[in-house]
Amino acid sequence: MNEMTLRVTSADGTRIAYDRKGTGPAVILVGGTLDDGAENAPLARLLANHFTVYNYARRGRGASGNTPPYAVAREVEDLDALIATAGGSAHVYGASSGGALALEAAAAGSAIDKIAVWDVPYVIGDDLWPRFNQYIADTDEAYKAGRDEELLELFMRLTGGPDADIAAGKQHPLWASSVALAHTLVKDTVIMSGYKIPTNRLARITQSVLVTTEGPATEPQFAGLPTDFFDRSAKAITAAIAQTERHTLDGQGHVVAPELMARVLRTFFNQ
């Protein structure tokens, strides 16, 4: 659990929890799937030597509020509230589904300077749709029934997580906190446009975008996905947006080493 002490009020009155560290140009970090801001905390500390870094818990996560009904526009407003707090404009880094949120915000006209995204999981390829369509249907049903643990299991099986890993996960002290965030999996599907790349919206983005991914995805939890899963998505994002740079960070897993990402972001945001 990430202890965030500061609060900003979003347009619909939801209180969003965040941390602020460092001095310099503003950078906002947007967490991905099942993250309450804890995953980006080490990166925030490293970037704070060069930037004023805002790391926040997306709505419904950690200490942030959760006002229904859910909509992508509400999450964009949350980011806009942070941008306003940061002085009216900011660079934005988004990991995984957080990258999709950063791109949606830019397409919607948020005051973002430069955008960097990591491993955004849009689904590219007919071979993948049966698996993802089944997941979307199953999670919708589990969500409506309030079966949060099942949501988490469905997500682990979607990417090909072995049953042994799922069984081991349930014994792990962090399982309960992951179950508490499981409702956000359905919301991330909405952020991801049902995992279909929103090419027309992305084409509106005029900012410079750094599109980064891991190399071939060979981690056991991704056994059900092609090894070029994130690369396919990155190529499609790069093709949709006018101004992009493309980097592959070989040897990284889906949770990128903060030291490496800090160096990449420092170079890009300072260009």
DSSP labels for 129-173?
HHHHHHHHHHHHHHHHTT-HHHHHHHHHHHTT--HHHHHHHHHST
> In this predicted model, what pLDDT tens digit does every residue of 229-241 receive, in sequence order?
999 999 999 999 9
> In this predicted model, what pLDDT tens digit does every residue of 197-217 receive, in sequence order?
999 999 999 999 999 999 999
> In this predicted model, what pLDDT tens digit does every residue of 81-126 receive, in sequence order?
999 999 999 999 999 999 999 999 999 999 999 999 999 999 999 9
Whether the predicted pLDDT of 176 surpasses 60 = yes
- Residue 270's contacts (CB-CB under 8 Å, 6 or more residues apart) are 50
Q: pLDDT at position 245, please?
A: 98
- Which one has a higher pLDDT value, 221 or 103? 103
> Look-up: residue for tokens 């080490």?
42
Residue spans of the domains in the chain: they are: 6-124+196-270, 126-187
Using a cut of 0.85, tell me whether the model's pTM lies above it. yes
Residue 31 banded pLDDT, cuts 50, 70, 90: very high
Give mean pLDDT, residues 170-195: 94
Tokens of 99: 């990258």
Superfamily grouping for domain 6-124+196-270: Alpha/Beta hydrolase fold, catalytic domain (3.40.50.1820)
Residue 2 banded pLDDT, cuts 50, 70, 90: low
Q: pLDDT at position 94, please?
A: 98
> Look-up: residue for tokens 């509400």?
74
> Look-up: residue for tokens 């508490």?
180
Angle separating helix axes 129-144 and 148-158, nearest 10 degrees? 170
Q: pLDDT at position 163, please?
A: 87
Residue 3 banded pLDDT, cuts 50, 70, 90: confident
- Lowest-confidence region among 114-128, 132-146, 169-183: 169-183
Q: pLDDT at position 67, please?
A: 95
- Strand 209-214's sheet: what is its strand order? 6-9, 15-21, 52-56, 26-30, 90-95, 112-118, 209-214, 244-249
Tokens of 53: 């870094």
Residue 45 banded pLDDT, cuts 50, 70, 90: very high
Whether the predicted pLDDT of 1 surpasses 60 = no
> In this predicted model, what pLDDT tens digit does every residue of 46-93 receive, in sequence order?
999 999 999 999 999 999 999 999 999 999 999 999 999 999 999 999
Main-chain dihedrals φ then ψ at residue 270, nearest 5 degrees: -90, -5
Q: What percent of the chain has pLDDT over 70?
A: 99
- Residue 183 has, within 13 A of its CA and on its CB side, a CA count of 12
